[in-house]
């Protein structure tokens, strides 16, 4: 697959809201690292990937050089890529600038406009974020990822029912789309009833290949915990730790399970492990809350 073909395949997956498959395309191919194409994009994928930082730095240098010499036809793509790289580096203001310029260069660059909306979201400018997502959908109602992000805004604003309605509708039309399944599972778990947890387990049981994605494994483990299957959840969290010793989600899950069982010694051990992996004030507060255990 050429760089151009890879670029288009990634964009097609993103448009459909299937960010997990887009990520697999990118990080499963050495050419993605070499070319620095579209979307090594933290906005869409939510996490850094090991070994990508150096490749991103090199790609940024190439793209900045291209920006000086690019034709008008290439400029929007170069700007868009620079915006994606800035997001990967957590440089939100730079990303916002590049996506704004990409949209100015080509008003129908919908991926750039979507990511412009996402930078507004990161800056807590939710009205502006909605405006950009809705502008994308006005041009292309099938640009699924913008509908997904609108659902995430609904959740943040407390309208979980509306978000679930959107995500369920999207999944009905795309039952094999793992990205949509992930967003729906997360929305259900955020509401967090036993019925929601059981729905997540049912969704995953009917979904092929979900086991290959850590995010969906995390959803299943947490759903088991919420539905009362603490032993099953613990087994899943421990399996995650055996695969990835630095999994904050798995350690946090084990803290919660130990707290529910009133196993204070184990709980403190996992809380300290969490703080060691994530030495932030929030982690310190978590540690304090759990180590001040009641009798």
CB 216 within 8 A of CB 204: yes
Q: List per-block mean pLDDT (blocks of 10 residues) for the chain, which spans 295 residues.
A: 64 68 55 36 40 70 82 84 85 95 93 94 95 96 91 91 94 86 90 92 86 84 93 93 82 90 90 83 70 51
* 3-state SS record for the chain: CCHHHHHHHHHHHHHCCCHHHHHHHHHCCHHHHHHCCCCCCHHHHCCCCCCCHHHHHHHHHHHHHHHHHCCHHHHHHHHHHHHHHHHHCCCHHHHHHHHHHHHHHCCCCHHHHHHHHHHHHHCCCHHHHHHHHHHHHHHCCCCHHHHHHHHHHHHHCCCHHHHHHHHHHHHHHCCCCHHHHHHHHHHHHHHCCHHHHHHHHHHHHCCCCHHHCHHHHHHHHHHHHHCCCHHHHHHHHHHHHHHCCCCHHHHHHHHHHHHHHCCHHHHHHHHHHHHHHCCCHHHHHHHHHHHCCCC
Q: What is the pLDDT of residue 26?
A: 55
Q: What is the pLDDT of residue 48?
A: 43
Q: What is the pLDDT of residue 47?
A: 40
Q: What is the pLDDT of residue 122?
A: 92
* Whole-number Cα distances in Å, 117 to 150, 225, 254: 10, 34, 35
The two tokens of residue 249 are 């989600």
Domains by residue range for the chain, with CATH? 1-157 (1.25.40.10)
Which pTM value belongs to this model? Answer: 0.73
CB 56 within 8 A of CB 40: yes
Q: What is the pLDDT of residue 45?
A: 39
Neighbour count for residue 140 (Cβ, 10 Å): 13
């Amino acid at each position: 697959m050429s760089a151009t073909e890879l670029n288009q395949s990634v964009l097609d997956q993103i448009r459909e809201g299937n960010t997990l498959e887009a990520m697999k395309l990118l990080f499963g191919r050495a050419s993605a690292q070499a070319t620095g194409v579209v979307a090594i994009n933290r906005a869409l994928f939510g996490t850094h990937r090991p070994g990508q930082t150096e490749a991103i730095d090199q790609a940024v240098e190439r793209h900045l050089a291209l920006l000086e010499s690019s034709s008008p036809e290439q400029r929007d793509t170069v700007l868009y890529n620079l915006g994606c790289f800035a997001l990967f580096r957590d440089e939100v203001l730079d990303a916002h600038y590049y996506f704004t310029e990409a949209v100015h260069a080509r008003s129908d660059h919908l991926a750039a406009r979507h990511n412009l909306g996402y930078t507004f979201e990161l800056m807590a400018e939710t009205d502006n974020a909605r405006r950009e997502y809705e502008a994308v959908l006005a041009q292309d109602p099938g640009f699924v990822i913008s509908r997904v992000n609108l659902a995430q805004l609904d959740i943040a604003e407390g309208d979980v029912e509306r978000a679930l309605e959107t995500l369920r509708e999207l999944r009905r039309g795309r039952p094999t789309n793992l990205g949509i399944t992930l967003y729906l599972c997360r929305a259900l778990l955020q509401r967090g009833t036993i019925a929601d947890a059981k729905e997540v387990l049912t969704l995953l049981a009917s979904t092929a290949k979900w086991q290959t994605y850590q995010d969906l494994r995390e959803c299943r483990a947490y759903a088991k915990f919420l539905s009362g299957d603490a032993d099953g959840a613990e087994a899943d969290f421990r399996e995650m730790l055996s695969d990835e010793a630095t999994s904050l989600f798995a350690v946090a899950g084990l803290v919660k399970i130990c707290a529910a069982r009133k196993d204070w010694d184990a709980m403190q051990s996992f809380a300290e492990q969490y703080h060691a992996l994530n030495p932030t004030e929030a982690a310190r507060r978590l540690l304090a809350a759990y180590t001040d255990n009641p009798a």
